[in-house]
Structure formats: C-alpha cells, structure tokens
Amino acid sequence: MKDNSIQSGVPTRSLAIRQIFWEAVIVGAIGAAFAFAANQLSPLGLALTRDYFPAGSAHSVRPAANDRLPNTFGTNAEILSPAQFLAAQMKEKGLQLLDDSQAARLFRDPRFKQDIIVFVDARDEEHYQQGHIPGAYQFDPYHPEKYFDTVLPVCQKAEQIVVYCNGGDCDDSESAAILLRDVGIANQKLYVYGGGITDWTTNNLPVETGARNSGNLRNMNK
C-alpha cells in the first residue's frame, strides 16, 4: 500500500516543528492568562504588587548548629556562631533578638497577664490552632489585614511585644515585627524570639491549642 500522506496533507517535519512551536506559544499565552485570572479570582490568591518579605532576602541555606559563618556585619569578630549571626542580622534590621530564657522570663512576668507584655504568633491559622504560646495573639504577616483590628490596639498599649514563628529557618516573625513597626508600633517595644515555638516546646513550656485563651493547655512534647 502506497503511503500518500504528503498528498493528503500530513505536514512535513519542518512544518510540524513550526506547528508545535506555535501551538506551545498559544498554550503559553492562554495558560498565562488563565493562571493570572485564576489567581485574581481565588480567595487565596496572591497580591502581585505586595512585598510579602519586608524582612529582606531569604535564608537560602540554613546553617548547621556547629557552622561558623563569615562576619559581614561590621563587628570585630571574624567568625560568628549561628546565634550571633542571627542576632547581627536582627540588629541590621533594627530588631532586638530574644533567647529562650528571656522569652520564658517575659512569659512568667506578671505584666504578661495585664497585656503590658504581649506575645504575637506570626504563623498561619492552622499552625496557630495546633499550638501557640498561651495568650499569644495571632498575626499572620501574609494576611495582615485580617489581624490588624485585634492586634494593633493591643500592641499600641503594650510596653514589650514578643513576636515569634517556628524558629530556625522561619523569618515570618521578622516580617511581622517589621509590619508592626511600619504601622507605627515603636521599634524599642518589638522583640523577636528567634527560637520560636520549636524551642518553646523543646523546653517543655506550656502550649495552648485552638483559639486564644481557649484554656486548652498542654505540653506538645507529652
């Protein structure tokens, strides 16, 4: 049987390549339009012009606990431990870093009960519900508009505000602190608890699940 594909209109190789190329261009163009429209319509969609990371560049690779990092912060020491590196990074952004014992001390301070000392949890709803520092206010820096009404008046009255997230790689606490500073909360009141909820639970400190002041206290390690 004779192959009459060319006569019947099956394209030659170069024509086929061109067709595939233009098909890909059309798919790309319609796909991009679809994608941006879907993002716009989605209630979870991102605002394209917003700076979601006011804290600056990503910690692209997490240093190991025993790593020594080059000092780029203008202090005298040439090599910094991860904790010193984090503290220097915070200082560069105008933020103050708290360690585990300082955070625990503020939590036990009687002024905490009076909202003179306030804890702010910079994680998302799901993680907050799973367990947060008892009495901490939620303030997700990726959806700040949802929380400003509750958190801003409290922060304005407070004398010390401790912002935390997961700890380690997480810099959402820095973003949240910078957002609060940008809307007028005094910088000297803002502290970032670098160890975050990970160190908090590791130190067997109490954790509250569900909503703020739900009374459901537990120790996440038990």
Partner 1 sequence: MKLSQTSRSRITVDTSAVLARWLLGAGFLYLGLSKALDPVGFLKLLRQYDLTQSSLLLNSMAAALPWFEVFCGLLLLLGIAVRGTALTLMVMLVPFTGVVLHRALLLQAVQNIPFCAVQFDCGCGSGTEFICDKLLENCLLILLAGWLLAGHGRQSSLRFNLIKSSPR
**CA gap 119, 108 in Å, rounded:** 12
Number of H helices, E strands in the chain: 7, 9
Residue 193's φ and ψ, nearest 5 degrees, are -90, 100
**Rule CB under 8 A: which of 82-101 touch partner 1?**
none
Q: Shortest Cβ distance from residue 16 to partner 1 (Å)? A: 8
Nearest to 166 by CA among 191, 192, 184, 135: 192
**Rule CB under 8 A: which of 115-144 touch partner 1?**
124, 142
State both tokens at 118.
Answer: 């306030």
**CA gap 183, 181 in Å, rounded:** 5
State both tokens at 194.
Answer: 């670098």
35 scored as a contact of partner 1 (CB under 8 A): yes
**CA gap 183, 149 in Å, rounded:** 12
21 scored as a contact of partner 1 (CB under 8 A): yes
79 scored as a contact of partner 1 (CB under 8 A): no
Binding part of the chain for partner 1, among 10-18, 110-118, 144-152, 210-218 by CB under 8 A, reads 10-18
Let me know: does 180 contact 172? Beta carbons within 8 Å.
no
32 scored as a contact of partner 1 (CB under 8 A): yes
DSSP 62: P
In the bound state with partner 1, the residue whose beta carbon lies nearer, of 67 and 109, is: 67
Binding part of the chain for partner 1, among 48-56, 148-156, 183-191, 207-215 by CB under 8 A, reads 48-56
73 scored as a contact of partner 1 (CB under 8 A): no
Number of residues that bind partner 1 (CB under 8 A): 46
Residues that bind partner 1 (CB under 8 A): 6, 8-11, 15-16, 19-28, 30-32, 34-36, 38-39, 42, 44-53, 57-58, 60-64, 67, 124, 142
